[in-house]
Amino acid sequence: MEVCFSGKQLYGDDFSFEEIRQWYEDEKEGYANLVVEYGLSEQTGGYDFTHLNTWHGFRFLPPNLQFERALGLGSALGDEFLPVIDRIKSVCVIEPSDQFHKHELKGVPFTYTKPSIEGKINFEDNRFQLATCFGTLHHIPNVSFVLGELHRCLAPGGYLLIREPVISMGDWRKPRYGLTKRERGIPIEIFRARIRELGFEVVQERFCFAMTSFLQRKIGHLFKKPLHAYKWYVLLDSVLSRWTTFNLTYHAENVFQRISPTSVFYVLKKK
């Protein structure tokens, strides 16, 4: 386990099918249950990440590019597609929870499918021109395999947008407030190595959420929405994240090591 906390190995990436099956059962309603327990934004029909996703991701897509089919891995109600929904003809969402479902967004039809336990995406090669995966991979054990599946299903020239934590998120062997049983971040060097192996072109690698949890606890009560829902905060956080990236530590063991961004945002292009 120590090698996992060091960031040199990703916990769960080499699990057996039975271990993956148990993980899947633990996580399939995990986030949806947190939404109910803590009153997160999806429960009330809101979505707090539009400015963040636009600033770090969608604005780097070619402005006139149209997407015949888009794929959202773990996209829940699919509101993450709002910045480009007028450029998409159809969206397929892979979502384990029965608590998230909609038929359309701004007139664009949505279809839903369940993920397979082992992480295989049940679509043919080169099907989608756009795929998103925001805050989903860290709930999955075999991340390297699923990244390979996303690459396979993406058409040449297609784009994949990813936002995921790159810190351990604490000791996942113990219950953690506000987190599901299994989630843990993905070490940045493991992310980078797998992206290179798959042959993606890295359009952007950007970091975010520098001390956001701390600031939310200290001043969040002054605002109606979470800090990251505001464009001004997204811009401020972008600067703070650049300044503190040097201090990024996978499993922080002191206060100083927590002064760093906690998530990465990738804009990737399939060659």
Q: Cα–Cα distances in Å, from 79 out to 86, 134, 220, 246, 249?
A: 13, 11, 23, 33, 31
Query: Rounded distance, CA 169 to CA 5, Å?
Result: 10
Query: Average pLDDT for residues 106-128, to the nearest whole number?
Result: 95
Residues found in the chain: 271
DSSP letter, residue 67? B
Query: Rounded distance, CA 90 to CA 75, Å?
Result: 14
State the Cα angle at 100 between 97 and 106, rounded to 5°. Answer: 145
Res 35: pLDDT: 59
Q: Is the pLDDT of residue 44 over 50?
A: no
Give the pairing of strands 108-113 and 91-94: parallel
With a CB cutoff of 8 Å and minimum separation 6, the contacts of 185 are 138, 164, 165, 166, 167, 168, 169, 250, 262, 263
Q: How many CA atoms lie within 13 A of 102 on its CB side?
A: 15
Query: In sequence order, what E strands does 128-237 have?
Result: 128-134, 154-165, 201-210
Here the tokens at position 16 are 């057996």
Supply the mean pLDDT for the chain.
93
Q: Write out pLDDT tens, residues 221-243.
A: 999 999 999 999 999 999 999 99
**CA–centroid distance for 235 within its chain:** 19
Among 52-61, 91-100, 204-213, 262-271, the minimum mean pLDDT is found in: 91-100
Res 177: pLDDT: 83
A 10 A CB-CB count for 118 gives: 15
Q: Is the pLDDT of residue 39 over 80?
A: no
Closest C-alpha among 270, 269, 266 to residue 57: 266
Res 42: pLDDT: 43
Here the tokens at position 20 are 């993956």
Among 24-33, 38-47, 82-91, the minimum mean pLDDT is found in: 38-47
Name residue, tokens 């015949």.
68
Res 247: pLDDT: 97
Which pLDDT band, with edges at 50, 70 and 90, does 271 fall under? very high
Among 18-27, 65-74, 159-168, the minimum mean pLDDT is found in: 18-27
Closest C-alpha among 118, 162, 125, 160 to residue 142: 118
Tell me the Cα Rg of the chain.
18
Query: Rounded distance, CA 259 to CA 211, Å?
Result: 6
Sign (positive or negative) of CA dihedral 97, 100, 101, 105:
negative
Res 37: pLDDT: 55
With a CB cutoff of 8 Å and minimum separation 6, the contacts of 197 are none
Query: Rounded distance, CA 219 to CA 197, Å?
Result: 42
Query: Rounded distance, CA 115 to CA 73, Å?
Result: 9
Q: Write out pLDDT tens, residues 135-186.
A: 999 999 999 999 999 999 999 999 999 999 999 999 999 988 889 889 999 9
Which pLDDT band, with edges at 50, 70 and 90, does 205 fall under? very high
Residues paired with residue 128 on neighbouring β-strands, in sequence order: 154
